[in-house]
Amino acid sequence: MAQDAQKPQKSVLLRTIATPLILTALMVALALLTLAVGSRPFNQTMIDIFVRVILVVGLYIFVGNSGVLSFGHIGFTCLGAYAAAWLTMPPMMKELSFPGLPDWLKAVQLPYGPGAVLAALFAGVFALLFGRVLMRLSGIAASIATFAMLAMINTIYANWESVTAATNSVVGIPIVRTIWPYMIGAIVAIFVAWLHAVSRFGLALRAARDEPTAALASGIDIPRVRLVAFGLSGVVMGLGGALMAHSIGVVTPDTFYLGLTFITLSMLVVGGMSTLSGAVSGVVILSLLIQGLRWLERGVPVGNTTFALPGGLQEILLGVVMIAILARRPNGLFSKEFAWPFGARDRRGPALAATQTVPEGDA
């Protein structure tokens, strides 16, 4: 303890690195499991999980640290996905789908890797632009404003025929079926989120979330630290969007609208909104649950008959389970970060730990 106090800079990194390392190990384990199973549907399921990990971690960077619920982040996923389509599709197909794109962009055809990075940055730039305006708001007004932003993006992408093909499905995006890029993307997202959380921006942002008055008094520029998180989460959401486009090969504006917004938010909140561990495990747990229910819906042989859930029951059960989890654990399943199980310096993982119930309220 005394040693920690002497070099606080280093100790925050060291004390908390367990969290991203454990989560990375989890990601690698999932990828290896996929390899071992070797079936194509299973491979696709795992790719979906990794993509959602990226999206939910991206959400966590802003929502978890700032405490402001955002309904708009899937808008950045939309930006990222379409940008990836613009950058990686063969020029001929672009001519068909997006006749209105500028010629230089039509001529470009990048491999999916650099394409995804550029798409992520593209989404990040827009996140910064929108954030400049939106970060002045807080609380529920900010949530609604982010939703309005999502709806704006959706309306524009669903109607700008020559550049986005409007509501038509965009086909011809190179499909990437190997699991590694998705796993790497998820790990990158986890480390970005962790580095942000322990950086002074992340610390200041959580301070502002838990003690807004004190944070203001100590000179924290709340809109600015929020903007940093918003921009960064925009980049991660954009990356998720690009990879999602490559995983399914088809995009439409409505792929990136309310359905995806709510499922990702649910994963975040069920897992534990204020922790990175919660964000990642929320995805894994809810995804496995959804898969399990789908499997039951398709039918399981029991003896010599098949037992199958009627259609629609899967979603109903999912909703019921979510309500049950939240009723029992309103702070989500993991309101504390994962840490080394043995000999940890501090099991609470202080720098990332969620603040428990604040007495008297901070209003």
Question: Which chain residues interact with another protein by CB under 8 A?
Answer: 69, 133-134, 136-141, 144-145, 147-149, 151-152, 155-156, 159, 258, 262, 265-266, 269-270, 273, 310-316, 318-320, 322-323, 326-327, 330-332, 356-361, 363
Smaller CB separation from another protein, 12 or 145: 145
Smaller CB separation from another protein, 47 or 318: 318
* Residue type at 276 in one-letter notation: L
- Residue 295: CB minimum distance to another protein, A: 17
- Residue 319: CB minimum distance to another protein, A: 4
- Residue 268: CB minimum distance to another protein, A: 9
* DSSP letters spanning 142-179: HHHHHHHHHHHHHHHHHH-HHHH-TTS-EE-PPP---S
Smaller CB separation from another protein, 31 or 79: 79
**Cα–Cα distance measured from residue 214 to residue 140, given in angstroms and rounded to the nearest whole number:** 21
Smaller CB separation from another protein, 93 or 254: 254
> Which phi and psi (to 5°) does residue 179 adopt?
-80, -25
- Residue 65: CB minimum distance to another protein, A: 14
Residue of 73, 354, 124 whose CA lies nearest to 235: 124
Smaller CB separation from another protein, 25 or 133: 133
Task: Please give the distance of CA 32 from its chain centroid, rounded to a whole number.
Answer: 22
Q: Are 335 and 278 in contact (CB under 8 A)?
A: yes
Smaller CB separation from another protein, 65 or 88: 65
* Residue type at 8 in one-letter notation: P
- Residue 327: CB minimum distance to another protein, A: 4
Whole-angstrom CA distances from 300 to 289, 294, 297, 310, 339 are 16, 11, 8, 12, 38
Instruction: Please tell me what DSSP assigns to residue 354.
Output: P
> Would strands 305-307 and 300-302 be described as parallel, antiparallel, or unpaired?
antiparallel
- Residue 262: CB minimum distance to another protein, A: 5
